[in-house]
Amino acid sequence: MVKLVLLKRPKEGVSRDELIEYLREVHGPRNAALSNVDYSLAAHVEPEDHDQLVDRDYYDSSETIPVDPSETSYDALEIHEFDTIEQLIATHTSEEGEQAEGNMSDYIDFEEEIAFVVEDVEI
């Protein structure tokens, strides 16, 4: 399994909520509809929505993981999973893949986006 992992943040003038709404309502469904890809989106959790996150000791013994969205650099994580590198390249260079990109530049700060490809490792 090969995964394209992307860490996203909104471009200047776009709120975090607007970015997440765009990814959830427009960009995400387009990517989920691509052939040969298993797409997932994760958005930063709002601590005030989860009282358990106030006490970080149970999951952050080093106290290095920021919880408050204002303390983090990125607001969303996208993962595109493929069986092979060839499928990843073919999908993202296809007309269908280019259409899925749509108007992302209206929402995403591409200069700050982090993107990398990982491969599952057998343990």
Domain CATH for 104:
3.30.70.100
pLDDT at 29: 93
Q: How confident is the model at residue 35 (pLDDT cuts 50, 70, 90)?
A: confident
Report d(CA 40, CA 82) in Å as an integer.
Answer: 12
7 strand-pairing partners: 77, 114
pTM of this structure:
0.78
How do residues 38-81 score in pLDDT, each as one tens digit?
999 998 766 566 565 555 555 555 565 555 556 667 888 999 99
68 part of a folded domain: no
Its domain, for residue 107, covers 2-45+74-119
Domain count, the chain: 1
* CB crowding 25-55: b at 16 or more within 10 Å, else e: eebbebbeebeebebebebbeebeeeeeeee
53 part of a folded domain: no
